[in-house]
């Protein structure tokens, strides 16, 4: 499988974000603590397996929002 694009909406700390993965074979996620690196991995896990780091689905919904969306 070659993921080409991730779309996030109200997922963890992300409001709206789109990540273009087209043509990327190997990537390093670099950023400050709390910047949202692991959240992007959770996006992959949630989209494929329906689960991630947190035990409850509600934990993945951005604080103050009612629902979240991820597309892979």
Ligand X SMILES: Nc1ncnc2c1ncn2[C@@H]1O[C@H](COP(=O)(O)OP(=O)(O)OP(=O)(O)O)[C@@H](O)[C@H]1O
Q: Which residues contact 54 (CB under 8 A, 6 or more apart)?
A: 60
Closest to ligand X by CB, 2 vs 16, is 16
Q: For residue 12, what are its two tokens?
A: 């963890």
For 44, other C-beta atoms within 10 Å of its C-beta total: 16
Q: Residues in contact with ligand X, total (CB under 6 A)?
A: 13
- List the one residue from 38, 44, 47, 61 that touches Mg ion (CB under 5 A): 38
On whether the CB atoms of residues 5 and 18 are closer than 8 A, the answer is: yes
User: What mask of x and - would describe binding to ligand X in positions 30 to 49, judged by CB under 6 A?
Assistant: -x-xxxxxxx----------
Query: Is 3 within 8 Å of 44 (Cβ atoms)?
Result: yes
Identify which range of 1-9, 20-28, 44-52, 55-63 contacts ligand X by CB under 6 A: 55-63
What residues line the site for Mg ion (CB under 5 A)? 37-38
């Amino acid at each position: 499988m070659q993921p080409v694009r991730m779309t996030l909406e109200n997922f963890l700390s992300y409001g709206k974000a789109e990540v273009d993965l087209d043509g990327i074979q190997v990537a390093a996620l670099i950023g400050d603590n709390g910047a949202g690196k692991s959240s992007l991995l959770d996006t992959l896990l949630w989209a494929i397996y329906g689960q991630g780091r947190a035990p409850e689905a509600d934990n993945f919904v951005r604080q103050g929002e009612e629902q979240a969306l991820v597309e892979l």
